[in-house]
Amino acid sequence: MSTSALSTRGLDKSFGSLVVASDIALDLPPGERYALIGPNGAGKTTLINLITGMLKPDKGQIFLGESEITALRPEERVKCGLVRTFQINTLFPHLSALEAVALAVCERRGYAGSWWRKLPAYADAVEEAYAILQSLRLAASCYRPTYELAYGQQRLLEIALALATKPKVLLLDEPAAGVPQQESAELFSVIANLSQEIAVLFIEHDMNVVFRFAHRIIVMVGGRILLQGTPKEIAADARVREVYLGGARHG
Amino acid sequence: MVTSSAVAEPQRYLEAQIRWRPVEIAFWLATLLPFVLTPNYLVLASQIAITALFALSLDLILGYAGIVSLGHAAYFGFASYTAGLTARWGWGEPLTGLVIAAAAAGVLGYLTSFIIVRFRHLALIMITLGLGLLLAEAANSASWLTGGADGLQGVRMWKLFGVFQFDLYGTTAYTYSLAILFVFFLVARRLINSPFGLALRGIRENAIRMPAIGAPSPAHIRKVYTIAAVMAGVAGALLAQTTETVSLETLSFQRSADVLVILILGGAGRLYGGLVGAIIYMVARDQFSGINPQYWYFWIGTLLVAVVMFLPNGILGGAARLVRSGRSRA
Amino acid sequence: MIASAFGVLFDGFAYGMLLFILSVGLSVTLGMMNFVNLAHCSFAMLGGFVTVTLTNELGWPFLASLPLAFLSAALVSVAFERVLYRRLYRASDLDQCLLTIGIVFVSVAVAAYIYGTIQQPVNLPSYLRGSVSVWGQSLGVYRLFLIGVSIVITAVLVAALEYTRFGAKVRAAVDNQRMARGLGIDVDRVFAVTFALGSGLAGLGGALAIEIVGLDHAFAFTYLIYVLIVVAVGGLGSIAGSFVAASLLGISDMAGKYYFPELGAFLIYFVMVALLMWRPVGLFGRR
């Protein structure tokens, strides 16, 4: 029996009487593309926060491959290969894209602690950072500070930072959020070209993206997993239509 | 928009960022001018160099890592007293005394850094303030050790390298202080341009993103805080050695507040901000010292308000903006 | 021993009540807008000097000068809010600190220029002087007055918060600013009014402080540290927090001075650091 790249068991979280996660059991096999959908307030981002360690669960366990990571700090989970991107751009405004990705690379390679050698001396890290930016077609503007980049480019930089950590499991929180039509093609090709060695779980509201890329869809409502299945199964399910595609409020 | 300075090779771009600029070289050559132009003011010049080093140490934690400390004088004063006591107890050799005092400040910084990393916002500001005040009170009470309000007496320094005596003219004092300042400036410059410096800027720019890229922020903060404590300690020790006295003022909230004002005035996060701020502040204060001290507070207060409202990145920030707008018009 | 312990408690509590009046405004506005107004004690100082001028120069009765101390501080704070503070609501903590510290420097210099650097005297009416005997204890009349005023103020504040519409808006804005705006509450206006009230209270506190701790040109600076301690330890945005923290601080300070005079202010700073390390958001703080 093959081990999932990422799995959770019995994950619970409440804020007082507000239940944001209830008995979440998730299994993400290696190399797969799963989508997590649900109405606003269903607890999708909360789940990502629980998995990455930004939020502590009341109960439950989280596994990366065979090892349990429930007790690890967020940065330790990243070192184990579990990485996320943010729904709202969480970047370094005054660092150039090159510097930002180089920082992530240096952290991974353990160079970030050294203060007696200048950054350009770590040629391998710089080359790797540049290569990542090239693969995401950000190389042309990588010398400019992040706040000067177009919104779509910033979304790509979000992903670049995640890729720089060489993840085994990648959690994308609404990667296409707010990206205008003209720039989204770029984003989609990046997602499509993500290495098959990475398992991806992405939250999305844009059903085009979901049906295009997901091998399997998980539907969350009110902190619980309602059901999971292939895109065909989900599209046909009356419950999902009722809760999300049909009657649910958006925004 | 592709500017003419965009280079194809990332390596060359990064090297270009950290290259020595001509204005920097001019600045350091200018620090030699007091020997020639104002030989009567070398004591003041050495005080400025010491304050500049102190401000530089604060820049590392405030300008680069984003930690607001209202108690940084603790390391300055602690090392000052250590250096003074070392000399008073018989060992007056300057350089080794400096090392001992800096090490003491470093240990204190290392220990307190564990407290510092656990807090943010108002709690952090108040804790740094509180720790500084605690140390100042302790020094006040322990007058058997520190000399209390009268200050530490009997600090006699030996000749530097066995040749140069610290005297009233300040020649040795300024040479010594300037040389040490330059050495630690080089250290700070290298640190800023290293991967560690990049990590610090990452913490300042977005503390939330750092753990998400696997960065151990607390460890980074502890490291820079310790280094900053060592540098502040070197400055404090220099003061004790060049003036051959130590007073409670070196540990006071006043000194912590002053260095903060100096750094903001010059511009935090720009390496030279503390140096520029120190020069302007100390020269101005020296000019004003004859006049009513209240006038000094009035003008500093007004200047502070003006800087925050109109020059948010300090004098160097404003200068950089001018240069940028001048370039774009050309 | 017991008699003096009670005396220390009483004097300490009175001192704490003074600190409460001085601090409560800052706690609420900090909790609401996260605007670090270190010049809060400058408004307190203003109120104090208004009372000094009215009673000494113009012969007003002490009690009559108090409402004016309140009003003048409130009005001046409105002017500052309109002209300067408003632009810095989104600025960093540090920038707000620096701007308001600059204002403190200027206020200290101006006070010294106008009034000199000596302690200001105040003429208390005879019915506020001396002491009365309560259950065998000798209690200062002025301190009783101070405690009385504070309790009245606390009651009014709590009642206003709980039972008035404005109070409900204040509570909402402190709790969750974005949500409050979303509900249609004019948070900026609520803040402006609260800020004026808080500064007015500070002014009142400054006037009341003259008899207890004295008033000089450096008041804005000297008491800033105590006010910050009360606010940080009590928790931002909490009246109850300010009340408890101020009482604790007042009593510890008095006890420290009485029983351990060699320690000086060491005890206060130690208690503050220890409390903040245990509960960084303050005793009654949130988040």
Q: Which chains touch A (3 or more CB pairs under 8 A)?
A: B
Contact B126 C270 (CB under 8 A): no
Instruction: Please state, in angstroms and rounded to a whole number, the distance separating the CA atoms of residues C106 and A234.
Output: 68
What CATH number is associated with residue A55? 3.40.50.300
Number of domains in chain C: 1
The answer to whether A137 and A155 have CB atoms below 8 angstroms apart is: no
Contacts of A98 (CB under 8 A, 6+ apart): A126, A129, A130, A133, A142, A143, B10, B13, B14
The pLDDT of residue C117? 85
- Closest listed residue to residue C201, CA positions, set C258, C148, C149: C149
**Does A have 3 or more CB contacts under 8 Å with C?**
no
| Nearest-CA distance A159 → chain B (Å) | 11
CB contact under 8 A, B195 and A122: yes
B125:C269 CB<8 A: no
On whether residue C129 sits in a domain, the answer given is: no
Average pLDDT over residues A61-71: 92
Q: Please check whether residue A88 touches B, CB under 8 A.
A: no
CA distance B115 to B122: 14
Q: Please name the residue of chain B whose CA is at the shortest distance from the CA of residue C221.
A: B254
* pLDDT score of A1 more than 60: no
For residue C223, tell me if it sits in a domain: yes
Among B121, B253, B297, beta carbon nearest to C105: B297
List the domain boundaries for chain B.
Answer: 38-252
Q: What is the pLDDT of residue B201?
A: 94
* CA distance linking residue B270 with residue C187, whole number of Å: 37
- The shortest CB-CB distance from B308 to any of C95, C107, C108 is to C95
Most B CBs within 10 A among A87, A90, A107, A132, hence the mutation to make, goes to A107
* Residues of chain A found within 8 Å of residue B7, distances taken between Cβ atoms: 143
A17: containing domain: 6-246
- Does residue A1 form part of some domain? no
* Domain that includes residue C181, residue range: 2-122+138-278
Q: Which of B164, B148, B166, B181 is nearest to B87 (CA)?
A: B166
**Cβ neighbours, 10 Å, residue C111:** 24
Measured between beta carbons, the chain B residues lying within 8 angstroms of C229 are 126, 130
Q: What is the CATH number of the domain that holds C203?
A: 1.10.3470
Whether chain B has a CB inside 8 Å of the CB on A104: the answer is: yes
Element (H, E) at C88: none
Chain C contact set for B308 (CB, 8 A): 88, 91, 95, 98-99, 102
pLDDT value of position A244? 61
The answer to whether the CB of C199 falls within 8 A of the CB of C40 is yes
What is the C-alpha to C-alpha distance for residues C161 and C155, in angstroms, rounded to an integer?
10
Residue A245, pLDDT score? 57
Q: Which residues of A66-103 are buried (b: 16+ CB within 10 A; e: fewer)?
A: eeebbebebbebbbbbbbbbbbebebbebbbbbbbbbb
How far apart are the CA of A35 and the nearest CA of chain B, in angstroms? 21
Query: Residue A113: its chain B contacts at CB < 8 A?
Result: 195-196, 219-220, 223
CA distance B247 to chain C (A): 18
Structure ipTM: 0.89
Q: Is the pLDDT of residue A206 over 90?
A: no
Instruction: Summarize the confidence of residues A216-224 as an average pLDDT.
Output: 91
Phi, psi of C120 (to 5 degrees): -90, 135
Domain count, chain A: 1
Cross-chain CB nearest to B212 (options A78, A118, A129): A78
Chain C contacts of B260, Cβ < 8 Å? 98
Task: Look at B194 and A117 and tell me if their CB atoms are within 8 Å.
Answer: yes
CB of C49 within 8 A of CB of C113?
no
**Inter-chain residue contact B122 with C30, CB threshold 8 Å:** yes
Residue at C127 is within a domain: no
Give the tens place of pLDDT for each residue, A150-169. Answer: 998 999 999 999 999 999 99
What is the full per-residue pLDDT of chain B (330 aa) written as tens digits? 444 344 458 888 899 889 999 999 999 999 999 988 988 889 999 999 999 999 999 999 999 988 989 899 999 999 999 999 999 998 889 999 999 999 999 999 999 999 999 888 788 888 998 999 999 988 988 888 888 888 898 888 888 888 888 887 788 899 999 999 999 999 999 999 999 999 999 999 999 999 999 999 999 999 999 999 999 999 999 999 999 999 999 998 889 989 999 999 899 988 999 999 999 999 988 887 777 777 888 888 898 899 888 887 888 888 888 888 877 665
Q: Is A158 on the interface with B (CB under 8 A)?
A: no
Residue A251 is assigned to a structural domain of this protein: no
Alpha helices in chain C (DSSP H): 2-33, 40-52, 62-83, 93-115, 141-163, 165-175, 177-182, 187-213, 219-234, 239-259, 266-278
Do the chains contact at B133 and C225, CB–CB below 8 Å?
A: yes
Q: What is the rounded average pLDDT for all residues in chain C?
A: 88
DSSP code of B149?
G
Q: Which pLDDT does position B266 carry in this prediction? A: 92
In a domain, C132, yes or no: no
Pair of tokens at residue B185: 């400036």
B interface with C, Cβ–Cβ < 8 A, is 62, 68, 115, 118-123, 125-127, 129-131, 133-134, 137-138, 140-141, 253, 257, 260-261, 264, 294-295, 297-298, 300-305, 307-309, 312
Q: Which residue has the higher pLDDT, C54 or B329?
A: C54
Contact indicator for B303, B310 with CB cutoff of 8 Å: no
- What are the angstrom distances between the C-alpha of C32 and each of A32, B199, B226, C170, C269? 46, 33, 35, 8, 26
- Chain B residues whose C-beta is within 8 A of a chain A C-beta are 2, 6-7, 10-11, 13-15, 18, 190-191, 193-199, 201-202, 205-206, 208-217, 219-220, 223, 227
Q: At what angle do helices C165-175 and C2-33 cross, to 10 degrees?
A: 80
Residue A83 distance to chain B (closest CA, Å): 7
pLDDT confidence bin for C40, thresholds 50/70/90: very high
A window 191-230, beta carbon within 8 A of B = none
